């Protein structure tokens, strides 16, 4: 089955074919580096990590670019309010550059703790200021811009397709925007490409352009960075659904107006999460970071497990109860990996002992491999069907999986399923002595050894096929 993805452009699930499978051009809108990422922010990077892994499992080579917004993202998400970086600097009594650096590092720490593959390139908005100016010059030459007292704006009425992507109702937008409407703007949907610093305005990040000091608008960086680093059309552009009506709509307008080409073939958007049924917000005190989860006994990978249990298109509700369930499910999978390891080790020994493998035994071996291939095919079919991770998870729960199959699961989901403490020699010796004691009917000794092993973190599982160790946590 070839990969199918939900394309926001057509509002349909479509077959995905990159322009060049050896160089799949993917652009992901990254974080605004002025505060610690909360768990809602991190979901999208987990889903896009899955996207990249599935492309790779399908034999493609993704070239992904991620940006860091370190200037120009105003508190309103539009063209009013304070620059988020400037606000962060005041709050922490640091320079804007220090704030950006600090939160970039923190973001990467969170990113790595989720076992997410590094993008091919991470780009900071402030490294593309000259390219921003060049793009604004092109848009100006082509007649798409106008100046007001506070900035250079994109005239959305000059770009007839403007409302198409987000299926915007511009008349409705206009009616709702009378309050606080910037009277110098020609249309309510026009947006700033560049902002001029006003007399008395305190803005530490500033660059000279058209004889005045100013800074770029929020949207221009994504058009510029994706153009410079990947080129149009991109194969896939990812973000959250909140990016559709403004940020991505504006990116498309800028890029397609400036270069006269389609910006991107596939637009992927993941949905929101709520926490205990409520929006994530500072005022509700639910802006949990990975550290907050860790303090309550959850690894970042437990959180990742919870995220991937849901589909990227579905709205999710987070609760600590559900996180606990995800944690247990992950432990169960690790124990299945541990069991597969021990069983296959045993099998290998048995095989070594058999010098001439006769026909019936060979058949058993073949069947085992075929069984695995079936699982891997079924597993990839679920993922190729619009990244259906919840169904892939259900298949894992309901399948016999060999070590090879588990390696495939880990390769795609990267949940740390192989990262666990295995028994040391001393513990293996205790296990051997316990088996011996059980065979000799010395149940007192066997129970004592079992309890000691439990203290060491290993739970003994006795089955018809023998005794195996499992992890307690
Ligand atoms: Zn963006």
Digit-coded pLDDT (tens) for 129-154? 999 999 999 999 999 999 999 999 99
Ligand 1 center to residue 391 CA distance, Å?
30
Ligand 1 center to residue 224 CA distance, Å?
10
Asked if residue 218 has pLDDT above 60, the reply is: yes
Ligand 1 center to residue 240 CA distance, Å?
10
**Tokens 């800074």 sit at which residue?**
215
Ligand 1 center to residue 233 CA distance, Å?
15
Ligand 1 center to residue 88 CA distance, Å?
20
Residue 359: per-residue pLDDT: 46
Ligand 1 center to residue 177 CA distance, Å?
24
Ligand 1 center to residue 186 CA distance, Å?
24
Q: What percent of the chain has pLDDT over 90?
A: 75
Asked if residue 357 has pLDDT above 50, the reply is: no
Ligand 1 center to residue 84 CA distance, Å?
15
Across the chain, mean pLDDT equals 90
Q: Can you name the CATH fold of 4-270?
A: Rossmann fold (3.40.50)
Ligand 1 center to residue 27 CA distance, Å?
8
Residue 351: per-residue pLDDT: 43
Ligand 1 center to residue 137 CA distance, Å?
20
Residue range 12-62, pLDDT digits in tens: 999 999 999 999 999 999 999 988 999 999 999 999 999 999 999 999 999
Asked if residue 204 has pLDDT above 90, the reply is: no
Ligand 1 center to residue 222 CA distance, Å?
5
Asked if residue 353 has pLDDT above 50, the reply is: no
**Average confidence (pLDDT) over 415-444:** 95
**Average confidence (pLDDT) over 195-202:** 88
Ligand 1 center to residue 243 CA distance, Å?
8
Residue 184: per-residue pLDDT: 86
Ligand 1 center to residue 31 CA distance, Å?
9
Least confident of 31-40, 356-365, 461-470: 356-365
Residue 27: which residues within 8 A CB-CB, separation 6 or more?
A: 64, 65, 66, 222, 225, 226, 229, 230, 234, 236, 237, 238, 264
**Average confidence (pLDDT) over 66-86:** 80
Ligand 1 center to residue 35 CA distance, Å?
17
**Which pLDDT band, with edges at 50, 70 and 90, does 78 fall under?**
low
């Amino acid at each position: 089955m070839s990969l199918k993805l939900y394309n926001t452009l057509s509002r349909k699930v479509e077959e995905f074919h990159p322009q060049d499978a050896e160089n799949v051009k993917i652009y992901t809108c990254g974080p605004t580096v002025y505060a610690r990422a909360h768990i809602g922010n991190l979901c999208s990077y987990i889903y896009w990590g899955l996207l990249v892994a599935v492309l790779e499992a399908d034999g493609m080579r993704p070239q992904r670019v991620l940006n860091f917004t370190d200037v120009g993202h105003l508190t309103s998400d539009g063209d009013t309010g304070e620059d988020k970086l400037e606000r962060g600097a005041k709050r922490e009594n640091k320079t804007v550059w220090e704030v950006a650096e600090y939160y970039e590092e923190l973001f990467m720490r969170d990113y790595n703790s989720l076992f997410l593959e590094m993008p091919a390139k991470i780009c900071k908005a402030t490294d593309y200021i000259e390219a921003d100016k060049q793009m604004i010059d092109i848009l100006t030459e082509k007649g798409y811009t106008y100046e007001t007292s506070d900035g250079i704006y994109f005239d959305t009425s000059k770009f007839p397709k403007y409302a198409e992507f987000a299926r915007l109702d511009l008349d409705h937008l206009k009616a709702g925007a009378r309050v606080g409407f910037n009277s110098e703007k020609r249309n309510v949907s026009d947006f700033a490409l560049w902002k001029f610093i006003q007399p008395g305005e305190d803005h530490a990040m500033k660059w000279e352009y058209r004889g005045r000091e100013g800074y770029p608008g929020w949207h221009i960086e994504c058009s510029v960075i994706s153009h410079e680093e990947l080129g149009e059309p991109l194969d896939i552009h990812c973000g959250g659904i909140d990016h559709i009506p403004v940020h991505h709509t504006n990116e498309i307008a800028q890029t397609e107006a400036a270069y006269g080409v389609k910006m991107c073939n596939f637009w992927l958007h993941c949905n929101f999460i709520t926490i205990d049924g409520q929006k994530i917000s500072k005022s509700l005190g639910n802006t949990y970071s990975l550290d907050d989860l860790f303090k309550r006994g959850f690894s970042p990978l437990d959180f990742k497990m919870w995220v991937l249990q849901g589909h990227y298109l579905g709205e999710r509700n987070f609760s600590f109860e559900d996180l606990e369930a995800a944690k247990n499910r992950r432990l169960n999978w690790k124990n299945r990996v541990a069991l597969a390891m021990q069983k296959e080790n045993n099998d290998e020994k048995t095989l070594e002992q058999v010098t001439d493998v006769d026909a019936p035994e060979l058949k058993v071996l073949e069947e085992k491999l075929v069984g695995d291939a079936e699982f891997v095919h079924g597993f990839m079919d679920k993922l190729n069907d619009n990244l259906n991770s919840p169904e892939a998870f259900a298949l894992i729960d309901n399948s016999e999986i060999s070590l090879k199959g588990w390696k495939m699961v880990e390769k795609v989901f990267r949940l740390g399923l192989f990262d666990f403490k295995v028994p040391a020699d001393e513990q293996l010796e205790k296990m051997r002595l316990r088996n011996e004691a059980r065979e000799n009917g010395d149940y007192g000794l066997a129970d004592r050894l079992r309890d000691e092993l439990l203290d060491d973190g290993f739970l003994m599982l006795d089955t018809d096929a023998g005794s195996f160790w499992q992890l307690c946590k």
